[in-house]
Amino acid sequence: MASTACFVIVGRNDCPIYESEVGTAPKKDEATHLHQFILHAALDIVQDVVWTTNGMFLKVVDKYNELLVSVYVTAGHTRLMLLHDSRNEDGIRNFFQEVHELYIKLLLNPLYVPGSRITSPFFDTRVRALARKYL
């Protein structure tokens, strides 16, 4: 079954610093925009939900039709947002944790300015690999 998934990392100033379509469903241009619109809109909810829990993984915070938005917030208020249509919470949790680790490794790179767009192809490859593994 083809799954749809869109993964976006949103920096603390609400700018996307990484975005990728990690789903297996065939890509449609307008759909990717819709996915990002949904994720953008979900930021409002995340902003409220994030203060209600101690965990970093906020689980599904928002949905639009059958698309669900799962969010993981790092300590630095960077939001890892995943739009998905499968209800595989454990896989998503693992995915987020691994990506978080990757992100921390990226932050340790002295040449990476926090909050700027992630352009590392290595990061991209790894994220896609993780998506294949867990989602």
List residues near another protein by CB under 8 A.
13-17, 19, 32-33, 36-38, 40-45, 48, 62-65, 116-117
Smallest gap from Cβ 132 to another protein, in A, equals: 23
Q: Which is nearer to another protein, 52 or 90 (CB)?
A: 52
Smallest gap from Cβ 59 to another protein, in A, equals: 13
Q: Which is nearer to another protein, 19 or 85 (CB)?
A: 19
Smallest gap from Cβ 94 to another protein, in A, equals: 26
Do 29 and 48 contact (CB within 8 A), yes or no?
no
Smallest gap from Cβ 63 to another protein, in A, equals: 6
CA 7 from chain centre, in angstroms, equals 4
Round to whole Å and give the CA distance between 95 and 106: 16
Residues β-bridged to residue 57: 72
Give the count of beta carbons closer than 10 Å to the beta carbon of residue 82: 22
In terms of DSSP H, where are the helices of the chain? 29-49, 89-108, 121-134
